[in-house]
A = this chain, B = another copy of it.
Amino acid sequence: MPSIDQVAARAGVSTATVSRALRGRSGVSPSTRDRVLAIADAMGYVASSSAAGLATGRNMAIGVLVPVVHRWFFASAIEGVDRQLRARDYDLDLYSLGGHGTNRDRVFHRSMLRKRIDGLVVLCMALTDDELTALHALEQPVIVVGGPVEGCRHISIDDRAAVRDATNHLIGLGHERIVHLAGGGSFGIEFSVPRLRAAGFGDAMEAAGLGAGPEATVFGDYTADSAKATVARVLDRAPGTRPTGIVASSDEMAFGALLAAAEAGLRVPEDLSVIGIDDHEFAGVFGLTTIRQDPVAAGERAAALLLGELEGDGRVPAAQPGPEAHELVIRRSTGPAPMLTAATSGARVQPA
């Protein structure tokens, strides 16, 4: 691992010139520049980021804070952030909270403040007030990918509209007894997003004149497992009360719903329609109708915004950007509501 002096010596110039040449600064004659570049390359020289960071105050690295890398949304967003960063020659420091509330403290009060990063991307999670202050104490640009977080800009779809659209798809198919399979539960993912999505469900139901009482919402913890168990209970309701449509707040939960339906001997979509949100990589094989969002793109956009701000002249704190696009993707898991017969429709009998 050669240092800059060695390169300078070999090239017969000063370290200053080497530095200038390598960084593309002006004020170096083309001939020397070429020579230095060639020699540096031949020697395999790469500047030490510690030294460069110390001297410039910029680390060429940004941090990504995630509750857990395992989940589809997070893994995808990380991928997107990374893609953008790598393209701009920035490094990516990953801070995972690891699912459990463990070591959150360590992360917030030690790791992240080590002046190792120039900015932070926070992936959709609930933050305590304490943590929020810690974030602001960083005095670094922060951007959230996922849901609104107080006092931070965020990149995300319009969650409320997304679920409204999903619900309306079912309503448009004639469904009246619809259940919202909401997320929220174990780790800190729950916060504004579940609320917004619940609101979107309510919007659509109300606008259609359909009831959305407490029975119309069940919780699935954002996992297929948990959702499957929950939905199994719901499908156990008497035929007249049993929903004909399910709006899951994530595809992973929708998968659980699909499997629960299969085990209950219900046909999809003849007996039950299921729509999710995400367009998870498995949605296709499952034939799941869903609202697509693109966390990879969101991650890219967030990183680009952050970098733009960092490299910008400074005083342009970039306003809150508009929401990401979402889109209904129709597959095989949704269809017309089953015919209502006197036997199953309860009070509401269709006039022949």
Which residues does A use to contact B, with CB under 8 Å?
1, 44, 46-51, 53-54, 59, 61, 64, 68-70, 75-76, 78-79, 82-83, 86-87, 89, 91-96, 98-99, 103, 106-107, 110-111, 113-116, 137, 139, 223-225, 228, 255-256, 259, 281-282, 284-286
Which B residue sits closest to A55, measured CB to CB? Answer: B50
Knowing A86-B103, A224-B285, say if A91 contacts B75 (CB, 8 Å): no
Which residue of chain B is the closest to A87 with respect to CB atoms? Answer: B103
Q: Are B114 and A48 in contact (CB under 8 A)?
A: yes
Shortest Cβ gap from A116 to chain B (Å) = 5
Q: How far is the CB of A23 from chain B (nearest CB, A)?
A: 13
B49–A116 contact, CB under 8 A?
yes
Docked CA distance A280–B93 (Å): 26
- In the bound assembly, the distance between CA atoms of A27 and B123 in angstroms comes to 43
Rounded to whole Å, the gap between the CB of A258 and the closest CB of chain B is 9
Contact across chains for B282 and A113 when beta carbons are under 8 A apart: no
The contact of A54 among B50, B68, B79, by CB within 8 Å, is B50
Which of A46, A59, A107 counts the most chain B CB atoms within 10 A? A46
Is the Cβ of A79 less than 8 Å from the Cβ of B86?
A: no
Chain B: minimal CB distance from A272 (Å): 16
Instruction: Contacts A50-B59, A225-B284 given; indicate if A91 touches B111 (C-beta within 8 A).
Output: yes
Alpha-carbon separation in the docked complex, A69 to B55 (Å): 33
Contact A94:B107 (CB < 8 A) given known A44-B113, A69-B75, A115-B48: no
A80 CB → nearest B CB, Å: 9
B69 in contact with A86 (CB, 8 Å):
no
Q: Is A70 a contact of B59 with CB atoms below 8 Å?
A: no
